[in-house]
Amino acid sequence: MTTEGSATLTTTGNDDEAGDTLGTESGTTGPKLDMSAEESGAEGNPCAETTGGGGLAEIAFSNIWIANSPEGTVSRVDTVTGEHVGRYATGPNNASDPSRTTVNLQGDVAVLNRQGSVIKIAAEEDRCVDLNDDGIIQTSTNDTALGWGVDECIVWEVPLHPGARAAAWDSGSDPESEDCEGIPSLWVSALDAQNTIHVWRLAGTDGAEEGHATMPNWAGAQEWGGLYGGAVDKGRNFWAIGKDDPALFRTDFDTMEITRYDAPQGVGRLYGIAMDKDGNPYATAEFDNRLLRFNADSETWEDLATIQGTLRGLAVDGLGDAWVATNGNCGLAHYHLADGTVDTITLPECNIPVGVSIDVDGFVWVVDQWAGAPPFGRAHKLDPLDYTVEFTVMGFDTPYTYSDMTGAGLDLVSYPPVG
């Protein structure tokens, strides 16, 4: 079921309420985003930890998952060391064309293939499946992928329509249960040949369908796959953007009802989407130099900033600041919510940065699809305070990933049970 929202546009000034400040925590390797329960939006939430979020902090590793689209693989990189700790085929051949990677609070990843499927890769061997019953889990541990059907940490595959794009895990937190513990669900979407949008909620354990909604008569082009990118809020509802049918769509977790909110006037195409800690989607207007935020409570759009260049993927940190990949005016833009200013950051060998994500230690990662010499592609790790490049990771194949490839975006809006 689809309903029309009543979105309007407002313009922000430079007097936005400031967020907290960046600081450091003992025992960490870099800047952290410290927030109280009230600041994080966790106050009153029965599933909240005292500081809000924190699911990824309980995991003994921190990874970023980057899709090598033309190769049909996904790379797993340790965000602390920059080492490749795994590479996985995402289909029987390179035609699988992976793009979106989304990470849950256990560190597992779902990889959406534009060929028309989604797979889940378990991040720890105790969640992998010994397919040949030899007592050993066969899985990649370096920059070499095993053959399709060989790696036993690829635990399930679900077919979708060709051209599939938007995908996002939810937290699994369940305030209705005694201990708040639940099982994460995976949201995916695809456009069929009859121009009908499909949105599915899949069980994280085995990919079984938990919910399904349709939206017929899609006005956008088939080549963009319908809903283009997605994120979830702390109520586990799925938000996604239409690219060339520029609008924001919310799918309700319980009812699967889809509500449409048209983009502000003058926006020809949307591209990136990310969620802030309060459950408000940020979006980039690809060719219109506009960074937007949708207030989910008032159902109004806000023009946050003008950013020069073609705007691609973005990430939002705990302060409400946005980090936006820019093409043309090649680099990274940092929007400060506190005062509305924008910093322009130069990237080494900059060519076509597409995706931005934040790791568990607060560092900002930018994936540049065509940087460097063949094989093209670089991933840069930046300090969010002084913008220095901590290191650059190579060894990709023209990587295209612009979703929540570390899980930090989900962590920002999630409150897993303590312990």
Contact assessment for residue 380 and residue 361, using Cβ atoms and an 8 Å cutoff: no
Nearest Cα residue to 273 out of 113, 104, 102: 102
Q: Which residues contact 17 (CB under 8 A, 6 or more apart)?
A: none
Of the candidates 181, 205, 232, the residue with the CA atom closest to the CA atom of residue 410: 232
* pTM score of the predicted model: 0.89
Angle subtended at Cα 156 by Cα 356 and Cα 274, rounded to the nearest 5 degrees: 20
Q: Tens digit of pLDDT for each residue in 328-377? A: 999 999 999 999 999 999 999 999 999 999 999 999 999 999 999 888 99
Residues sharing a CB contact under 8 Å with residue 134, sequence separation 6 or more, in sequence order? none
pLDDT in tens, 231-261: 999 899 999 999 999 999 999 999 999 999 9
d(CA 89, CA 106): 21
Whole-number Å distance between alpha carbons of 353 and 380: 10
CATH architecture of 2-7+32-309+404-412: 7 Propeller (2.130)
Q: What are the structure tokens assigned to 266, written together?
A: 């003058």
The Cα 34–Cα 32 span in angstroms is 6
pLDDT reported for residue 56? 85
Given a cut of 50, the residues of the chain with pLDDT beneath it are: 1-2, 4, 6-30, 32-45, 48-52, 417-419
Beta strands 281-285 and 290-295, pairing class = antiparallel
Exposure string of 309-319, with b = 16+ CB inside 10 Å and e = fewer, is bbbbbbbbbbb
Q: Is the peptide bond before 353 cis (omega within 30 degrees of 0)?
A: no
Residues in a beta bridge with 273? 283
In this prediction, residue 36 carries a pLDDT of 37
Q: What is the pLDDT of residue 263?
A: 98
Q: What is the predicted pLDDT for the residue at 175?
A: 63
How far, CA to CA in Å, does 222 sit from each of 161, 163, 230, 248?
Answer: 11, 8, 18, 18
Whether the CB-CB separation of 202 and 167 falls below 8 Å is answered with no
Neighbours of 386 (CB within 10 A): 7
Residue 144 burial (10 A CB sphere; 0-12, 13-18, 19+): exposed
Closest Cα to residue 124, out of 145, 146, 152, 99?
Answer: 152
Tell me the torsion sign for CA atoms 109, 176, 255, 54.
negative
**For position 52, what pLDDT does the model report?**
45
